[in-house]
């Protein structure tokens, strides 16, 4: 049983590395190699032991059947699930596997285990399976990207060997290579060999390590590195007193961590109460978000923070000039307030002055500032939007599946990655942050790119990992944050060089 599950885990992990463009005729055809994978017209297929099916097929229970005994969980509680569920908890974090009691990073499984002899999670050949090519692993797995993240004017990528590379602006050491010299191509972050996820603020960067601790580097003017000082560091330093971290979210000059027990801690700037400890005092060490032990997701933004609770509701606190807290007012709050009229939420993301949520029925709701159409409902407004509005035009060509896989809210724009690998963006496009070849503002989603595995937006640039393993970035490039070796703004996606 364990051997079969490891085999399937390898097959699922290689979704990150798919490089074949196979014929689109396998869906529903017979197969026998349970857990084998193939890609068809941007859609991933898995052999369930008898037929090829979409990995995102929805079961009546609301779980997604991945074939071969693996299912994608919409619950954050592993203990309530039987063995064989996986989840994508964050766009910046490796998939996790439930062994019946605990969530285990699939990144750790892939690095620390070898496939059983003679077995493979790739495409089977022979017999009736003649419609495609065998899926081969990359030549050098150690430099294959897992997840990409974007900061104010810098970008970083987590590689499969647990190391991190960064590029772009480095005035406060946010690239983590021990210097303060900008880099137009990726440099290796010093002293990080066991990273599991990333979060990039305006001028600082953080990584969750495989042991549940956190290291940060870069600007520390407000204590956002969490090491008890306000001294910048061009190499990673441990966040004081922090362990059992499940996920990170970056604010502008602060950082928040979701812990495995359902609580959250934040540190750094707190002038608007964004740390959630019901004060406005900056903190150079983590402080606990008051009053909640049932947090499922956390989203830190410019100067406000939101949490998704296990009951599917959302609470926000901090800066509120544009109703980004969602409570129908423009009054800042140091205590969490409930986002009005919002329930059945499965993911959240927050930007400068607006916030968004993905619901369990795959609709997306946004609220707050809408000067540039960043709420995505086809309108613009110079006044705060006091109700949640529905983003239009996010339908997937595959009906009945999870349409929106992840959201990333930038400064004045928003992007959504769909489960068929399509990327759509809306809002301000003044510096080409959509990547669609122009700078026209859009108040409803516009298709940008296909074949996207993982993406992240920031101030005015966006980066994505593609299903062929390449990293592409676009938009504002004044400090080289696009990573193509230049400082020329890019209106369409370009390859990051040097990886």
Residue 108 has pLDDT above 90, yes or no: no
**Tokens standing for residue 352:** 């400068």
186-to-21, 145, 460, 496 alpha-carbon distances in Å: 28, 12, 19, 8
pLDDT at 5: 42
For residues 82 and 97, give the distance between their C-alpha atoms in angstroms, rounded to a whole number.
11
- In 327-403, the DSSP E strands lie at 333-338, 345-350, 354-359, 364-370, 381-390
CB atoms within 10 A of CB 72: 20
For residues 51 and 60, give the distance between their C-alpha atoms in angstroms, rounded to a whole number.
19
For residues 41 and 49, give the distance between their C-alpha atoms in angstroms, rounded to a whole number.
22
Higher pLDDT, residue 197 or 71: 197
Cβ–Cβ under 8 Å, residues 433 and 476:
yes
Please, which pLDDT band fits residue 292 given cuts at 50, 70 and 90?
very high
pLDDT at 36: 55
**Tokens standing for residue 371:** 């000067």
pLDDT at 479: 97
Q: Which residue reads 């066991």 in tokens?
A: 194
Q: Is the dihedral of CA 1, 195, 252, 269 positive or negative?
A: positive
**Pair type for strands 37-40 and 195-200:** unpaired
pLDDT at 30: 73
Give the containing element (helix H, strand E) for 110: helix 106-112
Instruction: Give residue 229's Cα distance to chain centre.
Output: 29
**Tokens standing for residue 469:** 């393993």
For residues 14 and 307, give the distance between their C-alpha atoms in angstroms, rounded to a whole number.
31
pLDDT at 92: 45
pLDDT at 86: 55
Residue 457 has pLDDT above 90, yes or no: yes
pTM to 2 decimal places: 0.75
The predicted-structure confidence for 42-78, as pLDDT tens digits, reads as follows: 445 556 667 766 544 333 233 333 433 444 444 445 5
Q: Is the dihedral of CA 129, 87, 162, 153 positive or negative?
A: positive
Between 67-71, 275-279, 296-300, 341-345, the lowest mean confidence (pLDDT) is in 67-71
- Short-list 259, 258, 286, CA closest to 270: 286
Cβ–Cβ under 8 Å, residues 224 and 267:
yes
CB atoms within 10 A of CB 160: 21
Cβ–Cβ under 8 Å, residues 28 and 38:
no
Mean of the pLDDT values across residues 476-482? 97
**Pair type for strands 364-370 and 354-359:** antiparallel
Q: Is 177 left (phi over 0), alpha (psi -120 to 50) or beta?
A: alpha
Please, which pLDDT band fits residue 126 given cuts at 50, 70 and 90?
very low
Instruction: Give residue 170's Cα distance to chain centre.
Output: 23
Q: Is the dihedral of CA 37, 41, 43, 47 positive or negative?
A: negative
Please, which pLDDT band fits residue 121 given cuts at 50, 70 and 90?
very low
For residues 387 and 365, give the distance between their C-alpha atoms in angstroms, rounded to a whole number.
10
Max Cα–Cα distance, the chain, nearest Å: 68
């Amino acid at each position: 049983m364990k051997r079969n599950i490891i085999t399937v885990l390898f097959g699922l992990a290689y979704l990150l590395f798919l490089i074949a463009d196979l014929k689109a005729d396998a869906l529903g055809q017979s197969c026998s190699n349970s857990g084998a994978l193939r890609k068809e017209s941007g859609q991933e297929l898995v052999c369930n032991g008898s037929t090829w099916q979409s990995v995102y097929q929805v079961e009546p229970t609301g779980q997604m059947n991945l074939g071969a005994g693996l299912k994608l969980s919409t619950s954050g509680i592993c203990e309530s699930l039987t063995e064989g569920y996986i989840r994508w908890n964050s766009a910046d974090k490796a998939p996790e596997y439930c062994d019946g009691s605990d969530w285990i990073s699939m990144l750790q499984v892939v690095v620390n285990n070898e496939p059983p002899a003679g077995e493979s999670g790739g495409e089977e050949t022979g017999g009736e399976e003649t419609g495609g090519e065998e899926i081969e692993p990359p030549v050098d797995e150690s430099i294959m990207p897992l997840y990409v993240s974007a900061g104010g004017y810098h970008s970083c990528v987590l590689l499969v060997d647990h190391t991190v590379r960064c590029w772009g602006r480095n005035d406060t050491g946010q690239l983590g290579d021990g210097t303060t010299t900008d880099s137009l191509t990726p440099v290796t972050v010093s002293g990080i060999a066991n990273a599991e996820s990333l979060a990039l603020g305006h001028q600082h960067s953080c990584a969750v390590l495989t042991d549940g601790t956190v290291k940060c580097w870069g600007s520390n003017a407000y204590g956002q590195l969490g090491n008890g000082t306000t001294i910048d560091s061009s190499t990673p330093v441990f966040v004081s007193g922090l362990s059992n971290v499940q996920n990170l979210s970056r604010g502008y000059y602060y950082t928040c961590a979701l812990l495995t027990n359902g609580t959250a801690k934040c540190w750094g700037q707190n002038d608007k109460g964004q740390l959630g400890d019901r004060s406005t005092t900056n903190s150079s060490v983590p402080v606990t978000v008051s009053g909640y032990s049932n947090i499922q997701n956390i989203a830190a933004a410019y100067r406000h923070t939101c949490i998704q609770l296990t009951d599917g509701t959302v609470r926000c606190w901090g800066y509120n000039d544009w109703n980004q807290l969602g409570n129908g007012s423009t009054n800042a709050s140091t205590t969490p307030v409930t986002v009005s009229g919002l329930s059945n939420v499965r993911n959240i993301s927050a930007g400068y002055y607006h916030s968004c949520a993905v619901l369990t029925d795959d609709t997306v709701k946004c609220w707050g500032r809408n000067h540039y159409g960043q709420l995505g409902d086809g309108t613009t407004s110079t006044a705060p939007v006091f109700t949640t509005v529905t983003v239009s035009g996010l339908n997937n060509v595959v009906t009945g599946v999870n349409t929106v896989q992840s959201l990333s809210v930038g400064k004045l724009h928003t992007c959504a990655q769909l489960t068929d690998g399509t990327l759509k963006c809306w809002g301000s496009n003044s510096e080409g942050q959509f990547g669609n070849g122009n700078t026209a503002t859009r108040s409803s989603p516009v298709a940008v790119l296909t074949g996207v595995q993982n993406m992240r937006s920031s101030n005015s640039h966006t980066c994505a990992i593609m299903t062929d393993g390449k990293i592409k970035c676009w938009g504002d490039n004044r400090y080289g944050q696009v990573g193509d070796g230049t400082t020329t703004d890019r209106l369409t996606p370009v390859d990051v060089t040097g990886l």
